[in-house]
Amino acid sequence: MSEPAPGPILIPATAVRRRTALLARKISALYQNRDLTLLGILNGSIFFLADLARQLTIPFRVECWRLRSYVGKTTRSAGTVHGITKTPGAFRGANVLIVDDILDTGLTLAATRARLVAMGSRSVRVCVLVRKHKRRPHRVRADWVGFDIPDEFVVGCGLDYDGMYRGLPDIRVLKAPASPRE
């Protein structure tokens, strides 16, 4: 049976690079003279987190949580956040910047933010590479956004379909398989 595959480029790699550099400058300015802990949400944030972090001009710590709201061959959120009970790191009194690949329904980021507040973080902000244009059941504000995109399933730059395509340099729309000939 054929599978969905990466389709047309939505955001080219050059634009991702330029925008990441700009976000790094803005974030560095805001956290000047404050402690900063970057919290990467795995697996989707790995490339964006690494690219962004290396361009910050201020000192910071990095922690990562492995959370999942999509499981298997699907382009729909499962509605629960797996892994939110295993959240290592010392966050009491910390200024935390959550870094994730995408703001979709907001479920993952709402749960992450609530957990950080419960763990005693002093401030919690959010930076995502892409934000989907849609009505969100979970109200989450992103403080820094790379790109606003239409409500389509995308892959590349850390974004996956069933674990695949994270390493694509451009962000692409996932194309449904051609339907079989009648």
112 binds ligand IMP (CB under 6 A): no
Q: How many helices (H) and strands (E) does the chain have?
A: 3, 8
Site stretch for ligand IMP (CB under 6 A), options 13-21, 31-39, 50-58, 148-156: 148-156
Give the one residue of 23, 36, 103, 129 binding ligand IMP; rule: CB under 6 A. Answer: 103
107 binds ligand IMP (CB under 6 A): yes
Q: Kindly tell me which of 120 and 137 has the beta carbon lying closer to ligand IMP.
A: 137
- Is the dihedral angle over the CA atoms 43, 45, 47, 50 positive or is it negative? negative
Catalytic residues: 104
DSSP strands (E only) in 14-170? 37-42, 61-66, 95-103, 123-132, 144-149, 154-155
Interface map 18-57 toward ligand IMP (x if CB under 6 A): -----------------------x--x-------------
| Cα gap 7→49, rounded to integer Å | 24
Residues forming the site for ligand IMP (CB under 6 A): 41, 44, 69-70, 77, 100-108, 153-155, 159-160
